[in-house]
Amino acid sequence: MPTYTNTLLRHLEPDVLRRLCLRERDLPVRHGIEAPGKPITQLLFIESGVASMTVSFQDGDQVEVGMFGFESVSGVPALMGVHKSLNPVYMQLGGRGYSAAIELAREEFARGGQFQTLTLRYVQAQLIASLQSTGCNAKHDIHQRLARWLLICADRAHSNELALSHEFVSQMLGASRPTVSVVANELRERGLIEYTRGVISIRDLAGLERQACECYGVVKRYLDNYAEFDTGMADQTT
């Protein structure tokens, strides 16, 4: 049995893993995981790399509404009666993972055991992360939001070196590219980050955490701890 990085796979019992018949997958950058209106044919458990779910607008712009890393499983709506994807999901940072055919995943989910429990816990954590992000976008300034987003990316990717362009970051944050460039330059001048063309490096993790708003800690606690059966996640003081 492989040693897994993905949170769900690490916590699943061997019998459950065997019934899912997992297949290893390469996930290069920009690899499409789901597309609007297309059938959801598999669950995908990311081992490394980061994926984004976005909302697209008529003018061609897109904004990130969900982020998926080693803690995640994509395609969960198909376990609850949804047959076609509503939003695009694609890799923003390349990596690898495991897939399970949706028919096998539905059978396992219907057993009502460990797989169902952990999957629903993940859905709850992801919903809280999305709600917190929505509130953050309305309440906090772009300096705080950029710091939060970079920290969450680094956590999910297990790396402080992020192959991300300013243009891509601006799309994910719903901000203009010039604004992101100005703010990124300010963070660089303060020694928090460094960047070359297409790569952003976090140089002062503690300093970037101080720059970020409280939303980073809330999201991190839920995503890091959802698989534990007694997490105390409702206690925001821990």
Please write the tens of the pLDDT for every residue from 106-145: 999 999 999 999 999 999 999 998 899 889 988 999 999 9
What pTM value is reported for the model? Answer: 0.88
Nearest to 71 by CA among 152, 14, 171: 152
Nearest to 34 by CA among 99, 109, 80, 81: 99
What is the C-alpha to C-alpha distance for residues 29 and 52, in angstroms, rounded to an integer? Answer: 11
- What is the phi/psi pair of residue 154, to 5°? -65, -40
Q: Give the model's pLDDT for residue 64.
A: 86
- To the question of domain 141-212 being in CATH 3.10.330.10, the answer is no
Topology of domain 7-134, CATH: Jelly Rolls (2.60.120)
Q: Give the model's pLDDT for residue 65.
A: 87
Q: Give the model's pLDDT for residue 229.
A: 52
Judge whether residue 234 has pLDDT over 80.
no
Structural contact between residues 66 and 18, judged by C-beta atoms closer than 8 angstroms: no
Domain extents for the chain? 7-134, 141-212
Same fold, 7-134 and 141-212: no
